[in-house]
Structure 1
Amino acid sequence: MNPLILDIPVIAVTGSNGKTTTREFIAAILEQKWEILKNTGNKNLPNNTQQIAESYNPSVDAIVLELGMGKQGAGEKHCSHVQPNISIITNVATAHYGNLGNSIESTARFKSSLIKHMKPDGMLLINNDDENSKLLDTSTFKGRIITVGTDKQSDYNAKDIKYVKGGMKFTVTLDDQQLALFIPTFGLHNIHNALFAVAVSHEMGFTPSEIREGLAKFQVPIKRLNIMELSNQSLLIDDTVNANPQSVKAAIDVQEKLGKGKKKIVVLGSMLELGDHTEEGHKEIGAYLTHKQVDAIFTYGKGAKWIKEGAIDAGYDPNKVIHFKHRSDMHRELKNSIEDSSSILVKGSSAMNMIKTVKYIKDRYFYSIKVSNKDKKFSLMSLDKTVKYLKDRFFYLIKHSNKDENLIYLNSQTLQHLDIKTAYIKLHFGQLTKKLKISINNKLKTGEIIVPQRLSEHITIPPLPYEYYFMNNQLFLGPVIGMVVYQRYMNDPNQQLLRFANYSKIKGLIFLFSPDLLNKQNKTISGYYYDPKTKSFIWGTFPLPCAIFNRIPLRKSRYKFLKKHLGDTIFNYPYGNSNKLEFWNIMSKQAVIRNHLPRTKEYKNVNSLLKSLKSCDSVYLKPATMAGGNGIFHVKKINKGYLWSDILGKQIEIKSKDALAQTLKDNLVKNKTYIVQKEIPTFNEKQNKIDFRIYLQKDYTKNWRFSGIETKVGQKNSIIANSKNRKSIIPGEQALKKFYGLNEDETKQKIEEMTQVCIRTLKVMEKTGSKLGDACLDLVMDKNRKFWILEPQINYAAEIKSARDEGERRVLPLILPTPFEYAKVLSGF
């Protein structure tokens, strides 16, 4: 094939990094007075070059081509369609390393094919600061070689480089005069890219003022260091077009400059096509990040796991770098990590689709959503003060204006950002959905959205800080969380205040209600919502929530109604005393759990009790479905008989089987199923019974986590250690050291072992029908330091502990707020 050979400038740009940006810098200058032909976007393959050549017409003054050369032979194919007479090789690095021979030398050789097939006496521009560019083969090139640089003396040098608002300033000497230039983008690498444009245009006769004006008009290509200011005073840096070690380092350098004084979060997807350099290249980035004072690193994808390894190997805090296999898990953790005034860099190879992460962040942090004010329709100063007062990344809701109740206000640029094709936006608040007609008001700031407060005849949005997210043309406002409580808490909701200690992390509408306040016809619930401003509760009527934290024995019919409308977002149902016999029957089929269960059987008559006592010295008789120690008895073998004990400390010596049978008849709770359970001796040297309680809860990750452990020390010789029979409650860690002689490391290891077995137990309960998110398990430990599971507690004492002694209250800050984290993520926030 004979290439198209033209007398006009045919400028070809290739290199490992910076091709598109350099192309656009050149075009921005040339387009001021020339008609140019160029490829757009990332259309840089040989077939795209062919299309450019075929679309040429004599009115074109110059052609600007970006040549993708990620595969062997690509340079020759490009040049077979049109012959460049000006070529730029931005740099030689490890991009497409695996496709180009797995070495810098072979990569340089394949890039050199452009030099070989361009006009032999044309013009070649090279980055003088790039050591690898010295490997380019120019031995047969007869034309002129021009160099650019910032460090090494070059034909075109950038000096006095500064980061300024909106971009960078630098100076270049042109025609023996210092020319001050500005580019509306960031990074030293972009200074190099701009220098190529300066050099080319200057060599073609463009004046210094034309060069200056052209660079200032440069439009940053999409997904290439696009900087977005978010509504929580954070910066989002979208550099998701592609990734290799050099471009990732360049982006990290930009974040270092722009993110001063902010929490720096780096989100990196795998770098693909690195071939044999894959592991080394990713570890190199991890080590690079270690020296950049980054606050958190999130990695995603198979190759990116080596970024984590490289960072840790270089001394980075292992607790600050997390690798994810699933994007949704990363997004949840990322959202939990983003604070006001953060800088978030997102980058990865194109195939990693890191733009989805950019969209996830933008849909939750770019917009500032407010509610129309009845008295001041669009008082922007007042709204700004509200945002400043709350220091809130989302919005504060104020008064409602009746005529606006079906409208949502935004300016035209905001609508463009949202990319909504419909004339309306669906607002979701709890289970209520309202279609709002879009009304353009260009007095609003970009990103500012005004929604109505009144949503229906019964429901207005309480004035609270909310989070939001967009999904296509749908706006989700929340979270909206309901908590079902006993009537005593409706009479005095302030007893629930400790649960709201971490409200600032949750935000949204959280309300307490009792089931009789559910209006099935209107699909509303009345109750008390928490007001963070006054730290009190306010009565209101609300839509059905997105998630419910249940704390009462909820009637089945009501649960069915709520489940129908909420789906599977109601947790801690069923709520009540666990059936100890059913629990043992289910768990005894699980090998790991069975190893931690005391021998248990159903009590049928005195014979079943005596049979149990043949294999052990003492047993407990426990009602299968009662709690609080009620109905529990202890039976111990003694010389010539048995010792019977109740929870009040009353003891009876029994001499015969008949007498034992009569005692059983007289004391066991009528019509209650009982179990006979082997006693695991836990008494200390002072004859105090030692019981453990471990608290496990689901948080924003949707996973079970350890929240705390406490130890109940019983009264001397008491058979139980419940609230009426205990001497004290102490931290579980302290008890393991004091009573069992464990050191610090052994204590941590033992609690971890307990946690894992107990989480396994809860997961089995979930598989058999329980909907859980907040639980504890009662354990005991024998003298050999083996722990044994007695029973789970879903309806454990929580709020009422706040009225007890310090030992009881110690665990409350650890356990009371956490269920709202889980409810929030179930709500979709």
Structure 2
Amino acid sequence: MNIEEFYPLFLQADKVTIDSRKIASNDIFMAFSGGNFNAATLAQKAVEDGALAVIVEQKEYEDKDRNIFYVSSTLEFLQALAIHHRNQLQIPVIGLTGSNGKTTTKELIHAVLSQQFNVQYTQGNLNNHIGVPLTILSIKPEHEMAVIEMGANHQKEIEFLCKICRPNIGYITNFGKAHLEGFGGFEGVIKGKSELYDYLKSHHQTILVNENDPIQIEKTKGYTPTITFGKETSDFQFNLFSEEHFVGLQYGDIKLLSQLTGEYNFTNLCAAVSLGLHFGIDQEKIKSAIEHYTPTNMRSQVVKKNAITLVLDTYNANPSSMAASLKNFVTFEGSKTIIIGDMLELGEESEAEHTSILALAHSLNFEGIITVGKNFKNINPAGTAFYNTDELIEYLKSNKIQSDNVLLKGSRGISLEKVIDFI
């Protein structure tokens, strides 16, 4: 089965899925093989459940009469189908990456642009070599633009994802100490994320630039076309303000107060508003989009639980985002306890970075410091430190936190959100 032959069938489908549990009538099921499971064994059942077509990578499961087709690699076929589909699209595609704030920025951009356009965008965290193709394949004729998040933890990954999504506008949120092990240090992070710039430049596409970021300025110096924000000479100028725990943005006479905590979210707001203004969206509609966006994904999320204010930032963590979270949290009124989890994928720099974050936490004089994970435990065995969240939960059952505010911040693998019910 080749892409050109299959594409007309794809156009008839409602969606493409790789999850056999989510197959609905008129879907295309891409059956992936894994070490412990072969999804091709579900091909016949998928058709019986209403699947329009199934792609398998074991010849013995092929049944062309039932639209079960063999390919040598399901993954490569998925990616090639996405590339072919992208080549047919005539809509603007906005691609973004960065060390911190990708998902929040993507959500904000979608909220703003959706005020005027029918926008498809990356759902959840589907930002890798499988998620990006699935997002591209979810773009329908009614969509007028798309926002694609691209994640990476090693060199050449963004370069590859750009070949799939072919962004017309690109934005790098920032360059931070994330995935240091895979990228080979901070300079590797800069090089890897800048692959988005390399693609945009080589294809004469537009770059969105935060001109308060010296790395972004250096990497885009002399290049056009750009959309810029951050300085008096930029295309768009914004002022920061805050009320209570929340960060806001002022543009001219318009003030937009978000439901996000942390000044580090200011540039995320700036990026979304800049694109809204660039595409001619009414300022009042932009204001409404920002003020009604409610974070629900454990990123910069503020919730009340009993009499305690919880700051939930448990989806990811690296030294850059951890330091920013701690410095923001110290500004909260009342007593404060932090529960911080290990920062993963730091390689040889892990011990030094965890030591630095713990020293920062102590310097900020929080009433309580609780750590979770072996990295923090190893450097601070005498502290209130636990190897995992289950140990912490047992502790919290008989040691109630008395602070007015509690921050939970850690890498996804630590699963700090499990302790919320015990605070």
Quickly name the TM-score band, shorter chain normalised. 0.7 to 0.9
Q: CA deviation at 1:345?
A: 0.9
Counterpart in the other structure of 1:382: none
SS in 2 for 1:181: strand
Structure 1: distance between partners of 2:184 and 2:402? 45
Structure 1: distance between partners of 2:346 and 2:296? 24
SS in 2 for 1:20: helix
Counterpart in the other structure of 1:708: none
Structure 2: distance between partners of 1:127 and 1:277? 28
Structure 2: distance between partners of 1:179 and 1:326? 46
Q: Within the alignment, does 1:261 sit opposite 2:344 as a pair?
A: no
User: 1:440-589 counterparts in 2 under 5 A?
Assistant: none
CA shift in 2, pair 1:129/1:304, >3 Å: farther
After TM superposition, the score normalised by the length of structure 2 is 0.74
Structure with greater helix share of residues: 2
Q: Within the alignment, does 1:148 sit opposite 2:229 as a pair?
A: yes
Q: CA deviation at 1:251?
A: 1.9
SS in 2 for 1:81: helix
What letter corresponds to residue 293 of structure 2 in structure 1?
A: F
User: 1:28-39 counterparts in 2 under 5 A?
Assistant: 28-39=111-122
Structure 1: distance between partners of 2:237 and 2:363? 28
Are the equivalent residues in 1 in contact too, given 2:247–2:265 (CA < 8 A)?
no
Q: CA deviation at 1:153?
A: 6.7
Structure 2: distance between partners of 1:341 and 1:296? 8
Q: CA deviation at 1:327?
A: 3.4
Identity of aligned residues (%): 29
Q: Within the alignment, does 1:92 sit opposite 2:193 as a pair?
A: no
Which has more radius of gyration? 1
After TM superposition, the score normalised by the length of structure 1 is 0.39
Q: Within the alignment, does 1:56 sit opposite 2:150 as a pair?
A: no
Are the equivalent residues in 1 in contact too, given 2:96–2:148 (CA < 8 A)?
yes
Q: CA deviation at 1:46?
A: 2.2
Structure 1: distance between partners of 2:379 and 2:282? 46
CA shift in 2, pair 1:306/1:205, >3 Å: farther
Structure 2: distance between partners of 1:158 and 1:335? 46
Are the equivalent residues in 2 in contact too, given 1:223–1:241 (CA < 8 A)?
yes
Q: CA deviation at 1:37?
A: 0.8
Counterpart in the other structure of 1:158: 238
Counterpart in the other structure of 1:227: 302
Structure 1 stretches of 4+ with a deviation exceeding 6 A read none
Structure with greater strand share of residues: 1
Counterpart in the other structure of 2:97: 14
Q: CA deviation at 1:238?
A: 1.5
CA shift in 2, pair 1:184/1:132, >3 Å: same
Pick the aligned partner of 1:121 from 186, 204, 208: 204
SS in 1 for 2:253: strand
What letter corresponds to residue 146 of structure 2 in structure 1?
A: I
Counterpart in the other structure of 1:211: 286
Q: CA deviation at 1:158?
A: 3.0
Q: Within the alignment, does 1:191 sit opposite 2:266 as a pair?
A: yes
What letter corresponds to residue 27 of structure 1 in structure 2?
A: H
Counterpart in the other structure of 2:73: none
SS in 1 for 2:375: coil
Are the equivalent residues in 2 in contact too, given 1:299–1:307 (CA < 8 A)?
no
Structure 2: distance between partners of 1:200 and 1:94? 27
Q: CA deviation at 1:154?
A: 4.4
Which deviations, in whole Å up to 9, do the C-alpha atoms of 1:665-685 show, x marking residues without a partner? xxxxxxxxxxxxxxxxxxxxx
Pick the aligned partner of 2:325 from 234, 247, 251: 251
SS in 2 for 1:304: helix
What letter corresponds to residue 239 of structure 1 in structure 2?
A: D
Structure 2: distance between partners of 1:152 and 1:242? 33
Are the equivalent residues in 2 in contact too, given 1:20–1:221 (CA < 8 A)?
no
Structure 2: distance between partners of 1:180 and 1:235? 25
Which deviations, in whole Å up to 9, do the C-alpha atoms of 1:147-179 show, x marking residues without a partner? 333x887443432412336x333312xxxx332
Which deviations, in whole Å up to 9, do the C-alpha atoms of 1:348-403 show, x marking residues without a partner? 11111212122433xxxxxxxxxxxxxxxxxxxxxxxxxxxxxxxxxxxxxxxxxx
Q: Within the alignment, does 1:299 sit opposite 2:382 as a pair?
A: no
Pick the aligned partner of 1:178 from 253, 274, 284: 253
SS in 2 for 1:184: strand
User: 1:607-646 counterparts in 2 under 5 A?
Assistant: none
Structure 2: distance between partners of 1:327 and 1:214? 36
Structure 2: distance between partners of 1:122 and 1:88? 11
Q: CA deviation at 1:29?
A: 1.1
Counterpart in the other structure of 2:46: none
Structure 2: distance between partners of 1:334 and 1:57? 48
Structure 1: distance between partners of 2:192 and 2:274? 24
Q: CA deviation at 1:53?
A: 2.0
Pick the aligned partner of 2:152 from 60, 69, 74: 69
SS in 2 for 1:185: strand
Pick the aligned partner of 1:272 from 344, 348, 357: 344
Counterpart in the other structure of 1:743: none
SS in 2 for 1:202: helix
Larger RCO: Structure 1 or Structure 2 (Cα < 8 Å, ≥ 6 residues apart)? 2
Q: CA deviation at 1:55?
A: 2.6
Q: CA deviation at 1:134?
A: 4.8
Structure 2: distance between partners of 1:41 and 1:131? 30
CA shift in 2, pair 1:134/1:93, >3 Å: farther
Structure 2: distance between partners of 1:9 and 1:88? 14
CA shift in 2, pair 1:208/1:297, >3 Å: same
Kindly tell me the number of residue pairs found equivalent between the two proteins: 339
Counterpart in the other structure of 1:538: none
Structure 2: distance between partners of 1:171 and 1:128? 17
Are the equivalent residues in 2 in contact too, given 1:269–1:301 (CA < 8 A)?
yes
SS in 1 for 2:247: strand
Are the equivalent residues in 2 in contact too, given 1:37–1:62 (CA < 8 A)?
yes
Counterpart in the other structure of 2:24: none
Q: CA deviation at 1:339?
A: 4.4
SS in 2 for 1:80: helix
Which deviations, in whole Å up to 9, do the C-alpha atoms of 1:772-827 show, x marking residues without a partner? xxxxxxxxxxxxxxxxxxxxxxxxxxxxxxxxxxxxxxxxxxxxxxxxxxxxxxxx
What letter corresponds to residue 415 of structure 2 in structure 1?
A: N
CA shift in 2, pair 1:126/1:282, >3 Å: farther
Structure 2: distance between partners of 1:121 and 1:221? 36
CA shift in 2, pair 1:154/1:253, >3 Å: farther
Structure 2: distance between partners of 1:54 and 1:31? 19
Gap runs ≥5 in structure 1: 310-317, 362-829
What letter corresponds to residue 179 of structure 1 in structure 2?
A: I
